[in-house]
Amino acid sequence: MNVAKSKTEKSKVVTFLTHNPLFNFGKENLGILIGLLLLSLILTIFSPVFLSKHNILNVLRQVATNLYIACAMTMVIILGGIDLSVGSTIAMSGVVTGGLIAFDGQSIVVAVLAGLFVGLVVGAFNGFLISRTTIPPFIVTLSTMNIMRGASYVYTGGQPIRVMSDSFNFIGAGYVRGIPVPIIYLVIIVIISVLIMSKSKLGRHIYAVGGNPVAARFSGIKNNRVLFFAYLFSGLMAAVAGIVLASRMFSGQPTAGQGAEMDAIAAVVLGGTSMSGGVGKIGGTVIGALIIGILSNGLNLLGISSFWQYIVKGIVILIAVYVDFLKKRKEGTN
């Protein structure tokens, strides 16, 4: 008993520090933060344009769409699942939005809402099957991934749908006070995700269901609702990314978003989220996505071919995950 009491004084200091989000963020992500800084430093030295405002906005714009998906993917992976369908949902929501404007003459608002709805439907479908059956998320979303890719080809006949509308283009390529709109969405989405994960009951329930589903059930958590939410959110985020991409390219393309799920997963894993579920943070994912974005940007600036870029990306992911493994082993978690 006396042990516990003498600890309370000390724990006040500890509580203060651990409730300081910045302190925690730095401590938890020390490794990849250093990686990110080193990477930026090297690029600053070797490429004069790297630190220019134009280039930074460019990187952020590219990072943005990946991060919309990666934020939701973080939740999905913490829940011990995976969502492979986001790439083709990007395509489907893009072509539906584009099609409604170009073919049906619908207003942009209606078209965008319809595009978002596509994402919600895919997410709800995944979420329903995953929360109500024992079919693994990998299989469920592998199926929807194929279905959605096929559906976007069928809908478009394989051709991009051109949308020559400036106001539609504004959604993904416009600026507000000099800031590209996709970055504004990004900030909003990251803030919402962080709030969900670190402040809300839902967030704690996500960690519980991912960490030990049986114990979560015993604790009165409705596991299937939590799972359903995560996949629904994932579908919605994919749709946002799809609409932004379509708007930026003046067209809904059935080939859009190919491999997007892999970039999102890479960002999540780089950010320290465990594929076995139960642990992970949005903050880490943000850094992970930045590393991936800056890496491709830097390799472009240095004139390295995109063929080599894949190889470099693969190696970087492996190194990051391996370092994390070494760190965990040293801490003695078995």
CA distance 222 to 207: 13
> With the C-alpha atoms ordered 321, 323, 329, 331, is the resulting torsion angle positive or negative?
negative
196 vs 291, which CB is nearer to another protein?
A: 196
In the bound complex, what is the minimum distance in angstroms from residue 130's beta carbon to another protein? Answer: 19
Looking at the Cβ atoms of 58 and 223, the one nearer to another protein is 223
Q: ∠ at Cα 279 (278, 283), nearest 5°? A: 140
Reduced 3-state DSSP string for 158-183? CCCEECCCHHHHHHHHCEECCEEHHH
Angle at 175 between CA 172 and CA 181, to 5 degrees: 45
279 is a contact residue toward another protein (CB under 8 A)? yes
Give which of 217, 256, 283 is closest to 65, Cα–Cα.
256
Give the Cα separation of 142 and 138 in Å (integer): 6
Binding residue for another protein, selected from 218, 259, 303, 305, defined by CB under 8 A: 218
Does residue 22 interact with another protein by CB under 8 A? no
Kindly state whether residue 15 participates in binding another protein, applying the rule CB under 8 A: yes
Q: Cα separation of 98 and 164, whole Å?
A: 10
11 sits near another protein (criterion: CB under 8 A): yes
Site size for another protein (CB under 8 A): 37
Binding of residue 54 to another protein (CB under 8 A) = no
> Binding to another protein by residue 233, rule CB under 8 A?
no
Q: Does 134 bind another protein (CB under 8 A)?
A: no
Q: Which of residues 314-333 bind another protein (CB under 8 A)?
A: 331-333
Q: Which of 50, 125, 185, 207 binds another protein (CB under 8 A)?
A: 207
With binding defined as CB under 8 A, does residue 9 bind another protein? no
User: Is residue 215 a contact point for another protein (CB under 8 A)?
Assistant: yes
Nearer to another protein, 40 or 212 (CB): 212
Nearer to another protein, 137 or 210 (CB): 210
SS3 call for 252: strand
Q: Which amino acid is at 201?
A: K
Q: Which two tokens stand for residue 106?
A: 């619908």
DSSP letter for 254, please. T
Contacts to another protein by CB under 8 A: 1, 3-5, 7-8, 10-11, 14-15, 18-19, 195-196, 199-201, 204, 207-208, 211-212, 214-215, 217-222, 274, 278-279, 331-334
